Structure 1
Amino acid sequence: MDVSQPQVYFTALAVGLLGGVHCLTMCGGLVATLTLGLHPEIRRDPRRMLPYQLVYNLARISGYAVAGALFGALGSMLTEFESLKLTQRLLQGLAAVIMVLLGLYLAGWSSALAALERLGAPLWRRLEPIARPFLPVQRLVQAAVIGFIWAWLPCGLVYSLLIMAMSSADPRAGALIMLTFGLGTLPNLLGLAFLAGAVARLTEHSWIRRLAGLLVIGFGLAMIV
């Protein structure tokens, strides 16, 4: 994958921004839990709650970037075992197929990608209990720990972008791909926390979902060609 091409990062941003329907499904309950998990005095004042919500999400996005760097490094290691050109093409081909499946998933035309989410369930079962002692949240450091753990919640969108990060065969590019994706998710999840989902519900319109899906499918097909 030519990570110098802006469409790589545009796709990552679009997946994060327009994947709001999936965010509502996967993260809605967690966002509600984290909001209710704040100390009541903090929760009642939106101005005091804002720093905590930002820390939750920035720590989550940092977790994505760490995972992207790890997968980029994994892709780089894989290219050492076989012909560099052949391995990169295989990784790019895999990323392209996943992009097409992700586009179908975002548009609501296929649920095949949901199988990816089940792969991360064992890891999440080990990580989720680690966050429990940090509730209710009264300090920003607690919010940071919980936010970083949140990044490892099983999610088809995240796993799809991690495969793209792996195909970059570069830890820095992998981290940047995941960072861009994470920033795209920020408006939906902040809106979900503060406005009871009013911002996130904008992405429930079928034409927005289909437009997002078609954009991602188009990028995947271009990669295949």
Structure 2
Amino acid sequence: MLINDFIAALLIGLLGAGHCLGMCSGIASAISFSVKEEQSKLSSMLSLLLYNLGRICSYSLAGAIFAASSGILILFFGGKEALIYLRLLAAILMLLLALYISRIWFGLLKLERAGLFIWKFIKPIAQFFIPLKHPLYAFPLGFLWGWLPCGLVYSTLSWAASSGSASNGFIIMAGFGLGTLPAMLSVGTLSQQLKYYLNHHYFRYGSGVLLASFALHTFYIAVKQLL
């Protein structure tokens, strides 16, 4: 069951690649070009890799924290039934994500704005590492930048929270982060070419249909468990 959740989260990350490039390609490009000219291309790639590793670690940690917290609340307030209601919420957010990626409705932006309260405290710390003085600084930068308000992350995080345990939440968000990795490693010219294909309406609508199907399936299973 957990391996299926990991694969599904990986696919969500892949399908949301266009959104990831829109949100984070700027900082990723800045990282790859901020190393000193005398440093090798290997240093540039190392910086980009460490940045993304830090970002994935922050997603995984958030998944573990939210899943552990929800697990405690579920035991305290309602047991298994409360977990089902949390899955219903996750399915609804996933459906909103499908509409967002398809560019049919942008209601998920309101959820992103809600995260700005926390981000205003984290952003000044993250900016301390810009420009990079050493490739190793890319890891803490990525870890902090992973808390940037993002509807794609929040939707997947709600699903991870419904897993009911810290380890499951960690694995789900790690799968999601790994799914975003191919797009985030394609900076520069390749990034622009990838953006073209990812923003094509066929890809956007196709991704939306797949995510909506997953959301409806999750919703159906949760409702069935309540009956």
- What is the TM-score of this pair, normalised by structure 2? 0.90
Change over 3 Å in CA distance of 1:162–1:193 after alignment to 2: farther
2:66 aligns with: 71
Residue by residue over 1:130-182, the C-alpha shift from the partner in whole angstroms, topping out at 9 and shown as x without a partner, is: 12232332323311110111110110000111100111111111111110110
Change over 3 Å in CA distance of 1:79–1:207 after alignment to 2: same
2:2 aligns with: 4
Matches within 5 A, 1:196-215: 196-215=191-210
Question: More displaced, 96-105 or 24-33?
Answer: 24-33
Matches within 5 A, 1:70-89: 70-89=65-84
Matched letter for residue 101 of structure 1: L
Give the share of equivalent positions with the same residue, in percent.
38
Query: Which SS does the other structure have where 1:52 is aligned?
Result: helix
- What is the TM-score of this pair, normalised by structure 1? 0.90
CA contact (8 A) 1:131 1:149 kept: yes
- Unaligned regions of 5+ residues in structure 2, if any? 221-227
Q: Aligned-pair distance for 1:100?
A: 1.1
Q: Aligned-pair distance for 1:16?
A: 1.1
State the distance in 1 between where 2:128 and 2:139 align. 13
- Runs of 4+ with deviation above 4 angstroms: none
Matched letter for residue 165 of structure 1: A
Change over 3 Å in CA distance of 1:179–1:105 after alignment to 2: same
Which of 87, 98, 106 lines up with 2:93 in the alignment? 98
2:103 aligns with: 108
Which of 40, 50, 61 lines up with 1:55 in the alignment? 50
RMSD: 1.7
Number of residue pairs matched by the alignment: 220
- Unaligned regions of 5+ residues in structure 1, if any? none
Change over 3 Å in CA distance of 1:206–1:212 after alignment to 2: same
Matches within 5 A, 1:1-225: 3-4=1-2, 6=4, 8-42=5-39, 45-193=40-188, 195-225=190-220
